[in-house]
Structure 1
């Protein structure tokens, strides 16, 4: 496992994403104690980021001196755990000797360049195309989500967050306080993570209360309750068989074994989820991972629950039967440790490896998410081998059978009941109110408002369960 990154405020001297990813790969080899691992690599996978590289794997291979490798580009919507599962399966089947997975971003560099008014250069590739491209089988978002801003992660997750609060019977104030306390505990873990992006100490009140430098983005989320993706970070994993590692003389205490890996690729858009506060895929995939590893969820010693927003942590914990009061992260979470787009799991794996090596008989779980809790993945790891090949499973078919779905209609001229909602904010204040509403015939719709008084009402009291008048133009009134 290897990571790279850090704050360089002078954008002109900061490394681009490809440099960070190459450095992470080099550090993963150093971590294993064998440069020969890279010489044996045959397969290199990179999840899509915000950069423009056409074949990032080829670029990284050249920078790190790898030979001819099969390069894979995983588009957004492919679970990071799915890449790990695929690599481990190919190695276990004897089709690969060594596989490399790496992801990274240089968004902070780009942000600092904009502030300084300078242009930073990104490596260009002429004619390079990956050997293989992995794409989701379905579109990631629907036209309804695009038209109502639900496509935005903060808007989608805030909608789930409010539905979760309503299902739990919490008041707005109690819920705000609990989110702050949850994220404060994550912040305390980040303080001890040497690779965390933000190691400043925050109180629960500072995290959850809007204020200067911590404005509301989408009710109830302030900036400090959301993933920080403007980071310069990269993470890499090198995967081989235990036999290959032994043959290369890699010390036994450097090895971390995948006990099991599961994924659910059944995709249900946010407005189509009959229960917005639930995630059957997390329950099924998470519990199957424990079963395949020969343990119970309660036997897991170290957790990394995906933490782009508090709703993700809370819903995963609920589905797995894990108490929110216990330790849920080894990194400190994506607000504080850093949340580079589409590759945080690799940062988490590096920290989980460090923790497991210090507690070699323990077991750790690292979870994945794609889009708005749309896909779910879990990996169970240990420095103590299980005695069998890592068990990998795709539980999509079972998840599809057990997921209740609502038909979504684009507009409605009727009354509806609010199932979930949020209000988005720009720097000047409330911008758009969004509701997911149940209709009398059992269908669903999504509607919006820009009425200042109505948006103020939506954040001043519980709006889930309220009746709203849905209008044919896609707006609503009270």
Structure 2
């Protein structure tokens, strides 16, 4: 088939996992060094040089999301830092330097946005990249080293009786300021966009807690007659299969060792409960030193630059939709995703075939419920982890902050090059199941399909109105008799229950509320084999 010269095509990819060997951290890499290493390898994969690139886009660093707002960023313009290191002078001259705000959906969304820019000749080529050095940061802080902003936040969050954290006087050598600020396609919304004061007060703001609530909703809806023990075993079986996938890729997976279902399901030293029903092995692991990069180019530019055609991978379908409603507590049903259903419709409409028939799939896997819930909404039945995952998930591959999906896309490109003509689906998720992006890739040439962001978002709103015409009404000062709809119990580092969190409905007003309690009678909900859903409780919240 004849394909336009402006059609975007992936021409280079690279993934990298760095393991520190020396106790003095002399071989540790900074986030910028990780970026340079991976971008250089991605360019080499495409037989290109930095001078061939006229656009650089990066993900936000996780550690900079944690520092106080008034603390200067260590990397105020990371795309310019990368462009300088690789010699992408045209990207600097034209200010084609972009940073994506917080969200695991970022890598795929950037490819969708930059693909559109390439298709309209606004740019010719782009590098999409991200990195995290959280393992090095953690080891450095443990060794008494400091990092401005992070150290202050660490002191603030430490034991109140300990006013000071001992430091060695050494500072982690992180930082680079090449001048200027990156452009942004999207505004950095901040936590206020999807987090409420009540979520902060009760602890639901923590993703490990929020996704545990989603898991409980999924179980309640899809497995109402399955015992708690049996459900836990099924979660552990799936996660065990994830660990097998990671173990098969030891060069790139952070934790490439096989774990049995029993090891994953059983709480104990090194595998405590975090928020029921999740043990540590079921949660994303973000303390990693990992980076990944993708090189995107117009077909005509790739040919002019002499990129081997066996490297070409095309984007056959794509979509970006935010959840309706956006805030977690405003959603009437935690087991339905209007956004993902619209993404399914858009992708299948573009492809002319069901997503279930796509051979290779990598569904975003921050928590067990995320990958299974997405598969359900996308109409993808599965029996085994390999049906919906290739990396081993953020639990065992490692979850490098906002950049995990760059690893997923890079791996999918590698898989498709070895299986020419087949298709591969990659999905990504940001916020608290709030922002979704997806792409379908193949070595088979195709024409570029323009983005339909506004249309797809309107479809999601229409679907929400159809499914739930009456919006949820929250009560921030609940009092009186109420029904428990969903719950979780949060555990401390010694694997002892410390706080129960309940989402329920007030009997008198039918309003939704969220409450937390440290009372033993509630924190031991998890020990009961009987289901706590539908139980009547008395609520009094003085917050």
**Matched residue, 2:394:** 334
Say if 2:119 is the partner of 1:92.
Answer: yes
* Residues 117-126 or 88-97, more deviating: 117-126
Tell me the distance in 2 between the aligned counterparts of 1:236 and 1:214. Answer: 32
Which secondary structure does the structure 1 equivalent of 2:333 belong to?
coil
Q: How far 1:145 sits from its partner (Å)?
A: 1.4
The 5 Å alignment of 1:114-125 reads 114-118=141-145, 119-125=171-177
**Matched residue, 2:298:** 241
The 5 Å alignment of 1:210-359 reads 210-266=267-323, 267-326=325-384, 327-359=387-419
The answer as to whether partners of 1:72 and 1:134 remain within 8 angstroms in 2 is no
Which secondary structure does the structure 1 equivalent of 2:301 belong to?
helix
Tell me the distance in 2 between the aligned counterparts of 1:99 and 1:408. Answer: 44
The answer as to whether partners of 1:47 and 1:76 remain within 8 angstroms in 2 is yes
Which secondary structure does the structure 2 equivalent of 1:212 belong to?
coil
Q: How far 1:457 sits from its partner (Å)?
A: 2.3
Say if 2:239 is the partner of 1:183.
Answer: yes
**Matched residue, 2:149:** none
Q: How far 1:93 sits from its partner (Å)?
A: 0.6
Q: How far 1:134 sits from its partner (Å)?
A: 2.6
Say if 2:78 is the partner of 1:56.
Answer: yes
- The TM-score with structure 2 as length reference comes to 0.83
The answer as to whether partners of 1:283 and 1:316 remain within 8 angstroms in 2 is no
Q: How far 1:393 sits from its partner (Å)?
A: 2.8
In the alignment, which of 14, 34, 38 is matched to residue 20 of structure 1? 34
Tell me the distance in 2 between the aligned counterparts of 1:133 and 1:398. Answer: 22
- The TM-score with structure 1 as length reference comes to 0.94
Q: 1:213 to 1:472 in 2, by over 3 A?
A: closer
Aligned length: 471
CA deviation vs aligned residue, 1:221-254 (integer Å, no higher than 9, x gap): 1111011110001111111111111111111110
Unaligned runs of 5+ residues in structure 2 are 1-12, 65-73, 146-170
Larger radius of gyration: 2
CA deviation vs aligned residue, 1:347-382 (integer Å, no higher than 9, x gap): 111111111111111100000101111111111101
In the alignment, which of 112, 119, 128 is matched to residue 101 of structure 1? 128
**Matched residue, 1:154:** 208
The 5 Å alignment of 1:378-417 reads 378-386=438-446, 388-394=447-453, 395-403=456-464, 404=468, 405-417=471-483
**Matched residue, 1:66:** 88
Which secondary structure does the structure 2 equivalent of 1:22 belong to?
helix
Q: How far 1:408 sits from its partner (Å)?
A: 1.7
Q: How far 1:29 sits from its partner (Å)?
A: 0.7
Tell me the distance in 2 between the aligned counterparts of 1:244 and 1:442. Answer: 60
Q: How far 1:15 sits from its partner (Å)?
A: 0.5
Tell me the distance in 2 between the aligned counterparts of 1:126 and 1:244. Answer: 28
CA deviation vs aligned residue, 1:85-141 (integer Å, no higher than 9, x gap): 110000001111001111110001111112333342202327432133632567131
**Matched residue, 2:58:** 46
RMSD: 1.8
Tell me the distance in 1 between the aligned counterparts of 2:344 and 2:196. Answer: 27
Tell me the distance in 1 between the aligned counterparts of 2:328 and 2:229. Answer: 25
The answer as to whether partners of 1:219 and 1:459 remain within 8 angstroms in 2 is no
**Matched residue, 1:129:** 181
Tell me the distance in 2 between the aligned counterparts of 1:390 and 1:252. Answer: 21
